[in-house]
Chains A and B, each alone.
Chain A
Amino acid sequence: MQNYNIIGKPVVKINGRDIVRGKSKYGSDFSFPGMLFAKTCRCSFPYAKVNKIEISKAAKLNGVVAVATAKDIPGVNLHGFSVLDQPVLVAEGETAKMVGDPIAVVAAVSEEIAEQAVKLIDIEYKQRDPIYDPEEVLKSPEKYKIHHTAFCGSYDFEAGDIKKGIDAADFIVEDKYNLPIQEHAYIETESGVAVPGDDGSITIIAGGQDPYYVRYSIAKSLGLKETSIRCIIPEMGGSFGGKQQISVQILIALLALKTSRPVKMVWTREESMLVHAKRHPGSVKHKFGATKDGKITFMQVEYLLDGGAYGATSPNVTFWMGAHFAGPYKIHNISIHGKAVYTNNPVSAAFRSMGGLQATLVTELQIDRLAKRLQMDPIKFREINFLIQGDKPVLHGICLNDSKVTVGEVLNKALNRIGPRHSVSTTTRKMGRGIALGMPLYDVGGELSMGLRGVGATIEFFRDGSVEVRSGSVDMGTGLNTVLAQIAANEFGLKVEDIKVISADSQRTAKMGRTVASRGAYTSGNAVIIAAQELKKRLAEVAAHKFGSYPKTASLVFSDGNIYDSQAKNKVISLAEIADFCYLNGINLVANSWFIPDHASLGHTFAAAVIDVEVNIETGETTILNCVIAHDSGRVLNPLNAKAQLIGAGIQGIGYALMEKMVVSEGQLKTTTLHDYLIPTSLDIPKIDVVFIEEPSRTGPYGAKGLGEHGIFVTAPALLNAIASAIDRNVIEFPTTPDIVYRILKGKSMN
């Protein structure tokens, strides 16, 4: 692997200085003269026709400047990324389909007054019979459909002969796994400001994962041209897939245009938890068989996801989930069928790994159970069935096989790092080790999702030699902008500090699509390299002219802010000088790139986790002792960021398996605070060790692969396998809160 000065180095975040000094601005930190504050009036029923909306009392309240309802929306009163079915505001005569559906918005001179005004809005409802159970919908889709169809996602894949596979199996494990909801619980709730311009234009500053989608949605709903809308994604306090959907943006734009004043909206924690789309709950029926010598003979999966009231990205999640069941294993006879249905529950959509976690988790638990039945070491059982170099992954022939790394290598690295187990069980404290493997995908080509294909980037040299990189991608805390600066700095032989990165500003940055599916560094990184190389070509030609060696540029090197000729070291010219020359002589200092890969649309990587736990069998409490994540990351562009991504995702996986319990009962959210919905604290998580397997990919920027989501795939199943091994029971139910572990303990043992 080639070495670089900047690539692969622990470069400190370029926005870090502002963050640690409290100077960074997030959506709620902006204020403008004359700014108003907005609050939303929401439906409190899971399924109810809105007969009448009475806003006059609210409008008359002192300090209220505007109250808007669906009547004020001139364009299409709908939004939704993959399925356009979610009302911006539920209109009179229309039916609200979930608790929290927005019905009216108020802009007032203070947040308190806006809140009071919301309480003064009278709405007359006619409640309808809600449907909460996806199984019922699946049984009678016509009867229970709440949209024109009952379904918002499906996946079907078959290969080989399932019947033959079942017949060939000596052992079969079969079970139904229920999947809990997971809440993103980013510490920053949704927030933003809309600022109207004098010319009918509007600027929206709000968190999101795709400014272009936000711009398009606002234009459609408010009957504007996209050219009059500017969407800027400011510093973001986390997203993890949760801020992909429209949140405050259309509503504040509507109010800002109506009042001709800046309007700010900040969601309360309760509002955030209720309204934004969460990880799909659902169920998986998983049947899995092997011969007694450990060869998997078949896998048969049926899954059902609860999409909640609106489609959002359910189709994508349903696909992504189906594509992950087979994992890194050779399975010749396979049948995977999945559906997502609408219910009157809160909306579900993408959450880091979108379905990949759920699929990997069930398969990995089933593998351990099957190994137990075979009385075979779970590692050995996995090894027998590994995909090896040259094998086509079962489910996605389209998948990019991009480096020589094998899953066995990844697992071994994890096992070597964690080392032997030190703790021994006592009568009340049981020790267990769990492993899990996954084959997380990442988006490289964008063919599988609307609008993701085609990623632009711009690099501009200014006359004084300073450099700006403009990318439509969103740095939602991942450090992506720092990585893009590293790439540009590396290409031009500059320092990271010399590169200014402008990202996710729909007026200044070219379209990137969504920053999702672990694609940011891969796609935008490649786009920046392409733009840099084009610009370098021009600058080098100018240098060659100056050196008198034109058209020969092959020996020219970009280094330390200069271009020099490696064959004639006295020939040196600074980039600033060249930029000035270009500026004065009509040479374009702007390079635009457009990255569309000519290869497959999905890349894959391998991930492994090994976790040691101690379970207190008196209290059901689990303590994690050790955790290692190994990942086939390709070249790591920035080890600080990459480590943080894998560990951060890994912790979210642990939270999902161990404690995160979102309770919804009859369409009502019961866990509306961060002391009811629990995410891990500093006392719950041990130090997590990360092992990178750095075998460069052929197509990523400098050989990088996607990794933003990949830690989450494996920690959750590794933890559950560790608990199962500690207490010698099957663990089907999770999160494994103390009461659940206690109940499992009182059940039957695994044998």
Chain B
Amino acid sequence: MWQDYFTPLTTEECLQILKNFQGRARILAGGTDLIMQLKEGQKEASCLVDITNICDLTGVRVEKDSIYIGAATIHREIAENESIKKYVSALVEACSVIGSPQIRNRGTIAGNIISAAPAADAALVLFALGAELEVLTFNGLVVIPIKEVYEGLKKSKIDSTKEIVRGIRFPIPSKTAGTSFIRISQRKSLSLPVLNGAFFVQIDNGFFTKASIVLAPVAPVPINMKEAEKALVNSLVTYENIRKASILASEEANPRDSLIRGAGEIRKAMVKELVARGLEIAVSRAKQKSRG
């Protein structure tokens, strides 16, 4: 267990501590995953650097073409944020179902990504939106697309002993775009999903012009259903095309057998329904938005 605990007020101070401890200090935000991992020896740290007192790291900001979310913004704040509600319904939905009220009061958006759990709800939506992470390293700021953050099952490219995520940025979905988030779970709170999916579509003149379908846990990391997306783009928005894409997604997804989450084969079949429903909702939202 850790023997030192720091609560820096700036990111500079924070990086300095990380530097001083040479890999033995680790960033702590909400701690909803990390504390358990430390207790059970899955991760190690002799020093924790609590970043929740750094003001710059929290809050949602609408910029010219994009939305920026501070890394240490908690799920509840995102779910309640008016701009997020206006632009990205899927993120509201995802941030409202993570864990439980207590988890959403502590867990942070960056933590959800860095934990690299294969079915992290909020991260899935950010995946679908093509978000990028701003990471402060010893050598300055780097920007990493969220897709590159995941290196494997619960393995993140972000090394919290050396760097700190400052924020997450993604383009504001256009007026003709819609998002949705769907989660199938064995109970309605405090549970990991059997399947979850984030959907983003943009519709112009009756055609899909952009489509993103991100599913989990159907692989060690959240993944885009590329064939399904390809099939959608430039195709007419019809029930048949959605159905076709959902079948492609089901073929593409490869959930493994899990004693807890169910047989891979069944979950693979369920992908079809999940994707069809997710796309339908995203499409109807896109249409609604462009009308309104």
Contacts and interface: CB of A to CB of B under 8 A. Distances in A.
Query: When A and B assemble into the complex, do they touch directly, with CB atoms less than 8 Å apart?
Result: yes
Contacts of B269: 742, 746
A645 B184 CA distance: 31
User: Looking at chain A, what size class is its interface with the partner chain?
Assistant: 20 to 34
Interface stretch (B77-85, B104-112, B122-130, B254-262): B254-262
B189 A683 contact: yes
A26 B290 CA distance: 59
Given A618-B273, A619-B270, A738-B186, A665 B191 contact: no
A10 interface: no
B192 A737 contact: no
User: Which of A620, A676, A738, A743 has the largest number of chain B CB atoms within 10 A?
Assistant: A738
B89 to A, nearest CB: 19
Contacts of B261: 739
B186 A678 contact: yes
Contacts of A678: 186-187, 190-191
Contact of A671 (B260, B267, B276): B260
A740 interface: yes
A447 to B, nearest CB: 41
B188 A738 contact: no
Interface string B258-282: 0111110011011001101100000
B266 A684 contact: no
Given A620-B270, A739-B194, A684 B187 contact: yes
A286 interface: no
B243 to A, nearest CB: 12
A740 B266 CA distance: 8
A671 B191 CA distance: 13
14 contacts: A619-B270, A621-B184, A670-B259, A675-B190, A683-B187, A683-B188, A684-B188, A737-B186, A737-B194, A738-B194, A739-B270, A740-B266, A742-B269, A743-B263
A173 interface: no
A681 interface: yes
A16 interface: no
Interface string A672-697: 00111010111110000000000000
B191 A675 contact: yes
Nearest to A664: B259
A659 interface: yes
Given A619-B270, A739-B270, A742-B266, A681 B187 contact: yes
Interface string B175-191: 00000000011111111
A631 interface: no
Contacts of A743: 263, 266
Given A675-B190, A738-B184, 8 more contacts: A621-B185, A661-B186, A671-B260, A739-B194, A739-B261, A740-B262, A742-B269, A743-B263
Nearest to B277: A618
A257 interface: no
Sort A-B residue pairs by CB-CB distance and give the 9 closest, nearest first: A739-B262, A683-B188, A618-B273, A681-B189, A663-B259, A619-B184, A739-B266, A737-B186, A678-B187
Contacts of A663: 259-260
A346 to B, nearest CB: 15
B190 A681 contact: yes
Interface string A151-177: 000000000000000000000000000
A480 B235 CA distance: 68
A720 to B, nearest CB: 16
Nearest to B267: A739
Given A670-B259, A738-B194, A680 B186 contact: no
A746 B186 CA distance: 19
B105 to A, nearest CB: 17
A738 B270 contact: yes
B192 A675 contact: yes
B34 to A, nearest CB: 16
A670 B261 CA distance: 12
Nearest to A661: B260
Nearest to B263: A739
Nearest to A270: B40
Nearest to A739: B262
Given A670-B260, A676-B260, A739-B266, A620 B184 contact: yes
Interface string A99-129: 0000000000000000000000000000000
Contacts of A684: 187-189
A750 to B, nearest CB: 20
B287 to A, nearest CB: 20
Nearest to B192: A675
A73 to B, nearest CB: 32
Interface string A642-673: 00000000000000000101010100001100
Given A739-B194, A739-B262, A682 B270 contact: no
A619 B259 contact: no
A681 B188 CA distance: 7
A662 to B, nearest CB: 10
Contacts of B266: 739-740, 742-743
Nearest to A740: B262
Contacts of A670: 259-260
A721 to B, nearest CB: 20
A101 to B, nearest CB: 22
B277 A737 contact: no
A621 B185 CA distance: 8
B262 A737 contact: yes
Contacts of A659: 186-187
Nearest to A655: B187
Given A670-B259, A739-B267, A680 B187 contact: yes
A663 B257 CA distance: 13
A665 B259 contact: yes
Contacts of A621: 184-185
Nearest to B100: A681
Interface in B56-91: none
Most buried by B among A665, A674, A678, A683: A678
Contacts of B263: 739, 743
Contacts of B187: 659, 678, 680-681, 683-684
Nearest to A746: B269
Interface in A724-748: 737-740, 742-743, 746
B140 to A, nearest CB: 39
Nearest to B259: A663
Of residues A661, A676, A739, which shows the largest number of chain B Cβ atoms within 10 Å of its Cβ? A739
Nearest to B191: A678
Interface in B125-158: none
Contacts of B262: 737-740
Contacts of B267: 739
A183 to B, nearest CB: 13
B198 to A, nearest CB: 16
A684 B190 CA distance: 11
Contacts of A681: 187-190
A517 B246 CA distance: 52
Contacts of B192: 675
Contacts of B186: 659, 661, 678, 737-738
A746 B190 CA distance: 28
Interface string A187-227: 00000000000000000000000000000000000000000
